[in-house]
Amino acid sequence: MKKTPIALLGVILAVSGCSTMTPARYSVSVDNNMALKSYQGSTMDIVSIGAPEKYDSSCRMMGPIQASDGQTIPQFVNKAFNDEFKFAGVYGDGGAKLTGRLDKIAFSSSAGLTNGWWDLALTLSSANGQSMSVENKYDFKSGFDAITACNQTAQALGPAVQDLIKKTVTDPRFKSLLR
């Protein structure tokens, strides 16, 4: 009889384990494409983006939020920038070499109970000595229960990165990185 409660406890623990929430792959933005068209004739490449000192990826005890394809969030952002550059025809090895650092990666899946946000801060530096920093907070509807809210939070990473890229490439300081 004593083995039954122990076995039942083991099954409950196995079933209630955490899940990893993963967003869809990044998709390029028409708005970002239009903004990047103004840089035609220039080429650019983000070589790498580093991680912040701290980032808590856990979501409501459901498990971590991770980027798609086994990437870290900085790698996801790096690839997203370069995908946008490629789509706009401004990506190239012979142009401006940019490096970056995500100064902040933060999210909430329970702001106002059923809303959420991503807060991403980025510093880009150019080989020409220029740098710039931007921060973007992206708000979205998450959900009440943990499963829905954490899945919605993971899916909101793509649009949050799209907005970060738009804020970056439409900032007048961005052009100084390309000289």
Q: Per-residue DSSP letters for 22-90?
A: -PPPP---HHHHHHHHTTTT--EEEEEEEPPS----EETTTEEB--GGG--HHHHHHHHHHHHHHHHT-
- At 60 the pLDDT is 83
- At 5 the pLDDT is 59
Q: Which range among 3-7, 94-98, 146-150 shows the weakest confidence by mean pLDDT? A: 3-7
Instruction: Enumerate the domain spans of the chain.
Output: 45-178
Picking from 87, 84, 107, 94, the residue whose alpha carbon sits closest to that of residue 168 is 84
DSSP run (H or E) holding 4: helix 3-15
- pLDDT bracket for residue 26 (50, 70, 90): very high
Domain 45-178 belongs to what architecture? Answer: 3-Layer(aba) Sandwich (3.40)
Q: What's the chain's length in residues?
A: 179
The per-residue pLDDT for range 51-88, each reduced to its tens digit, is 999 999 999 878 899 999 999 999 999 999 999 999 99
Model confidence, pTM: 0.87
The per-residue pLDDT for range 83-141, each reduced to its tens digit, is 999 999 999 988 999 999 999 999 999 998 899 999 999 999 999 999 999 999 999 99
118 to 99, 115, 124, 128, 150: CA distances (angstroms): 22, 11, 19, 31, 12
Distance CA 138, CA 29 (A): 15
